[in-house]
Structure 1
Amino acid sequence: MDLVGSSPRLLLLLIGDRDENEKVLGLQACIAERDNEICRLKELLESEKRRADSKRKRVAETWKFMLDSKLVLIFKTPVSPTSFAASGTSFPNMLTRTSVLGESQLLEQEKSKGAQIAKIKVEKAEGYRVQIGQLEKQEIEKHKAIEKVKLEEQKELAEDNWNKVVEEKCRDDQMSQQLEEDKRTTEDLKRKMLKLSSLRNQTEMAIDISAKTQSTQCSNVKHLKNNLNVEKLQTKHTKLKYKKYTRPNNG
């Protein structure tokens, strides 16, 4: 499109459309970025859920094993030197029991640690869920903004099309009116030409009649002159003849 010869209003409209398009593209890019972020957070949330579930499952299985093996009772039973001596437990058995107690303590610590980690993961997942909700809300708002921009563009386009239709109709009406005026002018010129042609024919006929009349008159004058000359010659001849016959008698 040649923008050099365009009107200022058209240039403003084109600049406005370009700004709106850039705004829409910016919003779409932002929404795409938010969508990617939402997908990443959802995947991270699912991963954290799987890790927390796996951790809880391992802790539950360990705790079940301890219950089935009665290690919890051993863990809860304090061992003192007196009870050790009174029980008559052998040293190897005591070492084994001590080892079991250490393992049970480690399992209990692992259970507590796993519960804390699971709690942290749940809290983190909840934070992700809240963040995802906010991002989804922002995405909805962005979509609404894009739809609003599209509606405005469609409205402006409809107005422009309507204005073009009105302008075309006005132009067609003007052309029709001009054609009617040209038609009337042509008919008027034809009538004038016919009138002039009729007058010219009448003038030519009058000139022809006048010329014929003048020619006839000239012929008549010429004929009269000839007759007059003949008469003059006849008169002269008569006079000469008379003189010829009358001269001897006078002598």
Structure 2
Amino acid sequence: MLVLGIETSTPAASVCLGTDKGVVASAAIGPGLPELARAHGAFVAPAIRYCLDTAGVDASAVNGVAVSLGPGLFTGMRVGITTAQAFAHARSLPMVGLASLDLLAFPHRHVRRQLCSVIDARRGELFWATYKSVHGGVQRLGEFRRGRPDVLAAELEATTEDTLCVGEGAVQHRGLLESAGADVAEGSVHPDARALVALAMGRFIREETRRPEELTPIYLRQADAQIGWAKRGALHGGTAGPP
């Protein structure tokens, strides 16, 4: 099974083609290319074409589409989700939507302690969630959270769990989080489409999929949900709006 993955929930963005055997082709932009990282719309479509060309296949060879639903930055989420929906709808493909915070935790699934994925939410806030390692992946503990860095630090200080924080938001506030007793991981600072495809593959195999019009972004800040997503119109007869 060949799956296309699209992740655009942060200033970084990535696209991946993969199978149950691993990555076939991938493309990414990030902090090293800030002018591109602010223009997800200019990146995603060419990145999909690049991955297809690198894999030596046509778009008709893709069997499913996975996309990151956030939480994250509104504009990037909108680009990734609408592009993924359009690609899937045009080819009647099943979809899987996953949370960006889950994708941050997944590469650290072999760590035998509590994980805390942290994304910069801007406006002086963070998005975060905690996880534990389970066979083959990670399991989220509780709900997605949004708040000031000091709120996260207070939660970490209050827990009895040995915690490893991952993500750009954790790196930005390393001193504060480490003073609260947590460790901060290097690398894997942004959600990545390669983790998206790997994590989504099992759902495709088990046929735990959705139709394109059934996917909606994960908002943790209601104001963002009102900035026009509901006004972007129906997707080929589907509906779109805040969850």
In the superposition, the TM-score normalised over structure 2's length comes to: 0.15
Structure with greater proportional strand content: 2
Structure with greater proportional helix content: 1
In the superposition, the TM-score normalised over structure 1's length comes to: 0.15
Larger radius of gyration: 1
Q: Which has the higher contact order (CA 8 A, sep 6+)?
A: 1
